[in-house]
């Protein structure tokens, strides 16, 4: 337990039961003995989380937070509490293969400031799952390494860059577009196929469209900060044109990992983009 960790794995959950699969996947990592677990959850969940988080880890840090109220704040608490030079961000619905942590740690050792994994679709049968996957992770399901654009939510970072004195950590974790621009300005960002995760996507139409709406509202609020009322109104009225402009850009780069590009899937993607643009 006294070994200095190579990486801190950040887990954020509102309920201990939801963290079971990701904690099991972390316990199964080939580099598990080099990992520090940093978990943010309501304090009432801590006893059960301590039971679930047993394993060869270098240590376990439990912090009180409400991720439903403020997910970015919960993640920021974990980052500040961590002691390892590398931060591995996780989600409870995205499970890594056993070699995931080892591959990320090694790529950081080669000089990368941020490293993303190859993302696979864990539930490709649903048209909306395939559409959500294509929209968010289609760029990252190939088997070739790349540099530049990073996947969101399940990327690793050098702690010194993520929590640098000039960084507004909460703001960066609340908008990963800003976060990725921040780290890209400070070094190499890489995506490596040797690190692989399986992402469970929203599959129910109502839930997918609600997610798209809320995502559009959040993105729009961040982007239009400081705009005049007239400019905001013009963009709001132009949402159909924005959707049509986005579709030709999204379709060629969308990959459908495990699902054919059927009319149903393309229709689901178009509807999702429309609702996001409207939001």
Give the 3-state DSSP-derived string for 28-63, with helices as H, strands as E and coil as C: CCCCHHHEEEEEEECHHHHHHHHHHCCCCCCEEEEE
Shared-domain flag, residues 137 and 268? no
Q: Is the pLDDT assigned to residue 238 strictly greater than 80?
A: no
Q: Look at residue 32 and tell me if it is in a domain.
A: yes
Domain limit, last residue, from 199, 231, 256:
199
The CATH number that applies at residue 158 is: 3.90.550.10
Residue 188 is part of which domain span? 7-199
Domain limit, last residue, from 155, 184, 199:
199
Q: Look at residue 213 and tell me if it is in a domain.
A: yes
Of 77, 51, 58, give the one whose Cα is nearest residue 7.
58
Q: Look at residue 82 and tell me if it is in a domain.
A: yes
pTM for this one?
0.86
Shared-domain flag, residues 101 and 132? yes
Identify the bridge partners of residue 35 per DSSP, sorted by sequence position: 7
Shared-domain flag, residues 169 and 43? yes
Shared-domain flag, residues 139 and 221? no
pLDDT of 170: 94
Q: Look at residue 2 and tell me if it is in a domain.
A: no
Q: What is the pLDDT of residues 173-225, one digit of tens each?
A: 998 889 999 999 999 999 999 999 999 998 888 888 887 787 777 666 666 77
């Amino acid at each position: 337990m006294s070994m200095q960790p190579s990486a801190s794995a950040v887990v954020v959950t509102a309920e201990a039961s939801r963290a079971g699969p990701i904690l099991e996947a972390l316990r199964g990592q080939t580099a598990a003995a080099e990992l520090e677990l940093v978990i943010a959850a309501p304090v009432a969940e801590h006893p059960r989380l301590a039971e679930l988080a047993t394993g060869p880890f270098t240590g376990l840090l439990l912090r009180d937070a409400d991720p439903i109220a403020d997910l970015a704040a919960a993640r920021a608490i974990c980052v500040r509490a961590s002691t390892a030079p590398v931060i591995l961000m996780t989600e409870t619905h995205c499970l890594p293969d056993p070699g995931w942590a080892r591959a990320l740690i090694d790529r950081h050792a080669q000089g990368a400031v941020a490293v993303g994994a190859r993302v696979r679709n864990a539930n490709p049968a649903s048209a909306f799952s395939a559409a959500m996957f294509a929209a968010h992770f289609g760029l990252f399901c190939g088997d070739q390494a790349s540099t530049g654009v990073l996947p969101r939510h399940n990327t690793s970072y050098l702690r010194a860059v993520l929590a640098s004195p000039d960084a507004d950590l909460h703001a960066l974790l609340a908008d990963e577009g800003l976060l990725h621009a921040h780290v890209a300005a400070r070094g190499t960002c890489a995506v490596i196929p040797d690190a692989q995760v399986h992402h469970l996507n929203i599959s129910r139409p109502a839930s997918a469209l609600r997610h798209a709406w809320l995502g559009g509202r959040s993105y729009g609020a961040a982007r239009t900060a400081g705009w005049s009322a007239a400019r905001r109104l013009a963009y709001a009225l132009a949402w159909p044109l924005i959707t049509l402009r986005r579709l030709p850009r999204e379709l060629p780069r969308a990959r459908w990992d495990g699902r054919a590009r059927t009319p149903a899937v393309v229709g689901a993607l178009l509807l999702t983009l429309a609702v996001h643009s409207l939001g």
